[in-house]
Structure 1
Amino acid sequence: MERHKASWLNREKAFAAFAHGPLLDFWHSREEREFVGVENVTLRYVRFTAPQHKRVILVVPGRIESYVKYPELAYDLFHCGFDVVILDHRGQGRSDRLLQDSHRGHVVEFTHYVDDLETLYLKEIVSGHYQQRYALAHSMGGAILTLFLARQPQAFHAVTLVAPMFGIALPMPGFLANRILDWAEKRPAMREGYALGTGRWRANPFGINRLTHSTERYRRSLRFYADDPAIRVGGPTYHWVREGIHAGRNILSLASTITTPILLLQAGDDRVVDNRSQDLFCTMMTEAGHPCEAQVIQGARHEILFEKDAMRAQALNALITFFEAHP
């Protein structure tokens, strides 16, 4: 495993060879599965397993993401001795969409995401008879997983939250955003329309992206969506933004009740979520006597696990060390 970890620091230098060689071979070993979630929505997920593995990591992606984007992370976790399960949330990836315009990021109730995760947990994680159960969540996935932990405090031995969405970085003052969202909520045509300043998916050039400093990883992620129109998701609906904000408030109200050991990895240069909400969450957990270990990845943008080698390796080493400290 140490030899594998060493490769994290210089992978970008020959990224194409890695992606079209070892990583592609690994991707071909996947098992793609599905289950039915709330309101008969079909959810799809992927898993990588080995008979000798006694540990599992459930990966919970962020908004608009698909497991199609996550082969490299799965490869690294698998080669550190973990089975890996990755979910496509309702309304995105290969899972069923909720609106006729499949590009609109939408959910009827944020708790539906949590219900889906609970169903997958019971189906794949509990039934797998693993000795150690862990979870890793990014952005919106962090909010979903945290709400799940409030329901199921004994579900995982430890959890890592990567740039979790406990508060959204809004382009206007919060009071004004809330007025607009409440106004749109009462008007069905607006409620399910694209939120202000957003629209259908488009391939933004690397130079204006706010997600990563890694040219190689950004362009690879972009190709997944460019090559497969079915997994594209654009901006959120007004209702999704409203649900997301309420979810963040709910999480902070529950922070003191969450007892699962948590490592929170914060992106130092995050312009997508509000880092102050993450700080408050960890403070509230700690004051309640529950473990919340926070680590800032200095200079990293929102997608820490898709960052340049040095920052990504720092995050991966931190989460592997954290999981191994909670057997």
Structure 2
Amino acid sequence: MLEQAPFHAALADGPEGARAFWLRAGDGLRLRVAHYPGPEAAEGTVLLFPGRTEYVEKYGRTAREFAVRGFHVLTIDWRGQGLADRMLDDVQTGHVHLFADYQTDVAALLDAVDMLGLPRPLHLLAHSMGGAIGLRALTRGLPVASAGFTAPMWGIRMFGPMRPAAWALSWSGARMGMGHVYAPSTGPDSYLSRTPFEGNVLTTDHEGWEYMRRQVTEVPELALGGPSLRWLHEALAECRSLSRLPAPGVPCLTYVGSNERVVDAARIHARMRAWPGGKLEVVQAGEHEVLMEAAATRERIVAQLAAHYRQAAEAAGAQASA
């Protein structure tokens, strides 16, 4: 059952009529989903999988661009972030017990599609951590006609000896009952609240930066700090596991900034080279948040994704009627 949930429409700056709802995951945790409506004669619904630290309001402007192009958007606060149930007493810690638990949240999001009576076909758009969740969901038969990714977390960017050290520290921390402790060099403050715009790793667009920063400073409950050692171990293990799987048989369009400094861009390039019919677009001078770059960049990417979704739906329809 869906119950009305708080939603900060002014900060989201999305299409008119957007609403948020509480729902329960299969294991009882309370999640928050948001429906950004499209036109009455919509062409389908985009399932938007956010990244780590994110929340439904962040994608209001992206949803507005999709609404103009004929699509509804349904997005979620994953467990442990946004206004969903947090996992630890220190609510600023980004934590998950098992990475597979996010698939329970995906199942709840799909239930919400039916509860809200949203139009099909469904399409995926997944960012950063949501890219790992989305790829796993695709391998498990996520019922979408096509997929899009922005800076998907198919690997975490680390330098040389940092990777084995991260594996060792996160594994031993979890084994010794310290999985709740913040990963090294992180803490309770959110990146947006403690970092100046100059030199940030998210966007080159000052207005896009301020859009994100306003959301977490005006509604601190949305903010999240660094990941726990447990989250780090689970994320590393999930990326390794996904790297061993073949590409799903779903049309795919992926974007990565040429200056990506958060996730492993080499893993993205490698995955997309092996994705039959997949296409990779490099956003020149783009950082991690390509949908938070200048408005013209966001509009171009959404227009291309909408065309990609439309083409995939038409191809699936033609195949079904053949």
The residue type paired with residue 209 of structure 1 is: N
Specify which of 207, 212, 219 is matched with residue 210 of structure 2.
219
Distance 1:311 1:178 in 2: 36
Conservation of the 8 A alpha-carbon contact between 1:38 and 1:112: no
Structure 1 residue 108: deviation in Å? 0.5
Conservation of the 8 A alpha-carbon contact between 1:297 and 1:315: no
Match of 1:324 in 2: 310
Distance 1:101 1:280 in 2: 37
How many pairs does the alignment contain? 300
SS in 2 for 1:222: helix
Runs of 4+ in 1 over 6 A off after TM superposition: none
Structure 1 residue 103: deviation in Å? 0.5
Match of 1:94 in 2: 83
Distance 1:156 1:264 in 2: 16
Distance 2:270 2:107 in 1: 26
Please give the TM-score of this superposition, normalised by the length of structure 2: 0.87
Matches within 5 A, 1:295-314: 295-314=281-300
Q: Which moved more, 1:56-65 or 1:45-54?
A: 45-54
The structure-2 alpha-carbon separation of the partners of 1:127 and 1:67, relative to structure 1 and needing over 3 Å to count, comes to closer
Conservation of the 8 A alpha-carbon contact between 2:45 and 2:118: no
| Structure 1, unaligned runs of 5 or more | 1-18
SS in 2 for 1:115: helix
Q: Does 1:255 align with 2:246?
A: yes
Q: Which moved more, 1:85-94 or 1:51-60?
A: 51-60
SS in 2 for 1:45: strand
The structure-2 alpha-carbon separation of the partners of 1:51 and 1:320, relative to structure 1 and needing over 3 Å to count, comes to closer
Match of 1:108 in 2: 97
Conservation of the 8 A alpha-carbon contact between 2:17 and 2:36: yes
Distance 1:20 1:176 in 2: 43
RMSD between aligned residues: 2.1
Structure 1 residue 129: deviation in Å? 6.2
| Structure 2, unaligned runs of 5 or more | 1-8, 314-322
Q: Does 1:29 align with 2:17?
A: yes
Match of 2:168 in 1: 179
The structure-2 alpha-carbon separation of the partners of 1:62 and 1:78, relative to structure 1 and needing over 3 Å to count, comes to same
Specify which of 223, 228, 243 is matched with residue 232 of structure 1.
223
Matches within 5 A, 1:198-209: 198-202=186-190, 203=193, 204-209=195-200
Distance 1:38 1:234 in 2: 26
Q: Which moved more, 1:128-137 or 1:52-61?
A: 128-137
Matches within 5 A, 1:11-30: 24=13, 26=14, 29-30=17-18
Which has more helix, going by share of residues?
A: 1
